[in-house]
Amino acid sequence: MTAFSARHLLAALGIGALASVTLGAQTPRGEAAALRVTDALGVVRAVAHASLQSGEFGRADVDSVREARLATGTAATTTSGAAGESGVTSVATVFDVNLLDGLITAANVTAIATATAAGYDASGSAFDGMVVNKVPVGPMVAPNTRITLPGVGYVILNEQVTADGALTVNMIRLVVTSGANALRGETIVAQARSAR
């Protein structure tokens, strides 16, 4: 597959901007995205976005992603659950991650968010072969680990946010605050969100 900007890839796949999803407590809801980019102007784009509404199963896959800040290999997202079942699980997996020309790399990144009547769980979320600014990072990283990237901004690894009745897991959230405007903004790799 030739290199595409995220916008061209979205158009080719027929995927629009990531819609705002209200995750309520009445029925299981979930969504997963391999890549979510918010540029300096606040425009949001998502790649390989799968969503669950009213007990359906959602899945999306892409062969590769090429974007100003990111290059990846294959990516797959799923979300599944149904009213009356024990919960909903959303999964985003991205292979061969390369952010900012090797500043952050990983062989495999997986985000898993599960919501049940008993609560929320991110078990199974992990990195494989992760390196940040030339420092290897283990497969299990404490939730909400923040690393400053001098001259760039910062990255939050294994970000876990519980709000609005949902658990959101962002395995890599890169925030670029310095450099060219084309690179500024936020890039999330492997995002999973689930609610009951």
66-87: pLDDT as tens digits: 776 666 767 777 777 654 456 8
Task: Parse the chain into domains and list their residue ranges.
Answer: 6-17+29-195
Q: What pLDDT shows up at residue 27?
A: 57
> Which position has the higher pLDDT, 26 or 142?
142
Residue 4 has pLDDT above 80, yes or no: no
Q: What is the pTM of this model?
A: 0.78
Nearest CA to 169 out of 98, 57, 94 is that of 94
Helix (H) or strand (E) holding 188: strand 185-195
What pLDDT, in 10s, does the model give residues 14-24?
Answer: 332 222 233 33
Cβ proximity of 144 and 156 under 8 Å: yes
Report CA Rg, the chain: 16
Q: What is the pLDDT of residue 59?
A: 72
| Weakest mean pLDDT among 23-32, 137-146, 168-177 | 23-32
> How is residue 34 written in tokens?
């391999």
* Tokens of residue 94, six digits: 């991205």
